[in-house]
Structure 1
Amino acid sequence: MEKYHSELQTKKLNIPAMLAGKKVLVAVCGSIAAYKTAFFVRLLNKAGAEVKVIMTHSAKSFITPLTLSTLSKNPVLSTFEKDDSGEWNNHVDLGLWADLMIVAPASANTLSKMAHGACDNLVTAVYLSARCPVMVCPAMDLDMYQHPATRTNLQKLKDYGNIIIDAESGELASGLSGEGRMAEPEHIIEFVEEFFSRSQSLKGKKVLMTSGPTHEAIDPVRFIGNHSTGKMGTSIAMELVSRGAEIQFVSGPTGHYPKHPSVQVTKVTSADEMFEASKAYFADMDIAIFTAAVADYKPKTVANSKIKKQENDLDIILAPNPDIAKELGAVKMNQFTIGFALETDQEEDNALKKLEKKNLDMIVLNSLRNEGAGFAHDTNKVSIYDKHNNVSHFELKSKAEVAKDLVDLLERALNE
């Protein structure tokens, strides 16, 4: 350990000044790599970050709370109760406090718990409560790291929008040599620097987003709708706020809503309600992204009571819903607008027609013909077109990665 400390001292680390004042929550799990966390916490503190540390019970076998408390200049927490006083260590407050949470080292056991929503200790409770971005630094033996279960868990965490700092290669505690070492503290600092640099790129930008399906009532019980889950919209919203944007998120009925202090969620049911809410926000926005799968039609009349089943056919007359992207595109001033097109036939032609018809700056096309794309999946395969005849084609990716690709293109367009 003294040798490791000496090596760090001889390296010229470019500690980023942008970390000054940032609130970083470091979570430590049971791994021999925990000794590196001491140096990482010291580097964060030296950079001017405000650091708090939480630990699993097993982490105490590898590094003492006293060491991390001394280096972080804050008490280290590992249980839900404060000593014997009966006071509560509030995991929700910790999750809200941080600008960034870093799990370093993240053991195979904790990775599995995070991926599957298990919540049996303070670290996993804070993780599930955190509204800030989360970085994960895995550390384990090479066979554990390459096991399909571990790879699946890491992919799940990526799909949740977590940032994975891949393990590095070298000599392991088992005596074997290979991939599984926790990234070196100075390498993690570089990731943190890049994160906070990127997190300022859309600072001050206001974004309107529509997401999810709409439900168009037939009677008090039944409705016309679609299979949209809102996953794509939520992924984009979380990528935008990670870069400093403020979001007005107008969503139809779904189980997926972004949770972040910079996201204001407005819940609606019908296309008319979504249109009215979107109109109310649009004039003050810099950007509008229409990811919602809005029903094209609604019943012309809605029955006041449940329609009883009859032997004869039931005819329902449908009336067109407002085209939200088109209506707002017609009155936009300087807003940058992005639409989505989910197609089954003549995909590119239909997408390009919508790009022009709705006065969009960019449109994202995906096809139900592509396996793993479209509604209800955690993945998507898209092509993105802009009004200058540029097109970018992407392979099948997690929706979190698709969101990153889209926001990268958005930033590039805004800076041209």
Structure 2
Amino acid sequence: MSKYKILFQISGSIAAYKSAYLISKLVQNGFEVQTIATQSTLQFIGKATLEGLTSKQVLTDQFQDGEMMNHITLMKWADLIILAPASANTINKMANGLADNLITSLFLAYNFDKPYLIAPAMNTNMFQHPSTQSSIEKLKNWGIKILPTDSGYLACGDYGSGKLLEPDKIYDYIIESLSQQKASSRKSILITAGATREKIDEVRFITNISTGTTASSIADQLISKGNTIIYLHGKDSKIPKANCQLIEFTSFSDLQNKLYNLLRNNHFDFIIHLAAVSDFTVDKIESQGEQINLEDIVKIDSGINSLKIYLKQTEKLVDKIKTISRNKNLRLIAFKFSGADDFDHSINEAEKLFTSADYVVINLIRDRQNNIQKNFLVIDKFKNQHRAVDSKELAEIILQIIEGK
């Protein structure tokens, strides 16, 4: 199990002791758990128990020194939020927008982008009261997952609904919610990688120094997070270690055709355009004023004293990607390989790409050593900047962009 981060909230209920078992099970299965408790909760279960299980301080006070922004930061930190047990008092406060403690303040900072589970626990009459049922229905309509309650003998001696669902069943709901969240957050991504080859004859070509190393590193990171990748790569480019669909290209025209077909026939959420596309392709070749017909020859005679190779400019593929794309809302991350001495001198050129791209990654020729690129600058349309010292750090930045963090 991946080390998901769980924000585990406990409100005042005699069933709070059951939360200790569930927290222990989560920790044993590799989850990182941060507990939040109301003051009334601590009448039923002690801080020492919760801190011993999680190795983290129990948070209770939204006005504690140094913790004033917890209601914002914790919501960003968590992969899933759960309130178990959830008392009638807390449920009704949440549904009515009250924020008089850390748990209810946290709820108002929730932006509905990750699972939020509530496991009610209360007396049957409290559970079935119209105000509680109305609050539960309102929370459901907002997208909160309200777990069922068990029926049985309650702590007060009554028999009926409102009993906290057994912790093992709550655990199953947590796993199910995280699995659904992971599936829904997966993106379909096209990565172009490596160099084009512009043919001179059947044995000679013009190419560049791109190896696909950076692209493969990014692909591996994105695949590891469950994203679906199509990797459109140059011949002999480095291939990702992780499993993905591989499509090879050779020349500019080959890349252009395959790229446009993929864009027209697939719904991509992101395109990461790393391919080092040749700015020029061979137009014609002359020897001693005579044009060589390459269709009639496999290999130009090495005995010829001199050749003139005429090149013609290729299209800028980056300018056409969004126009041709089936998904008109896709986001494009483009790359600018610069011969400037530093990033400051490269930014003006890179910013021209924002007519098409959402993000531009700048890398400098001077920072390339032994075919490995070091130092990257990621910029967006609002001139925000993020630096990466290597492809691994760059992959982390791009992953955060894709995940919307």
* TM-score, normalised via structure 1 length: 0.48
* TM-score, normalised via structure 2 length: 0.50
Q: Which has the larger radius of gyration?
A: 2
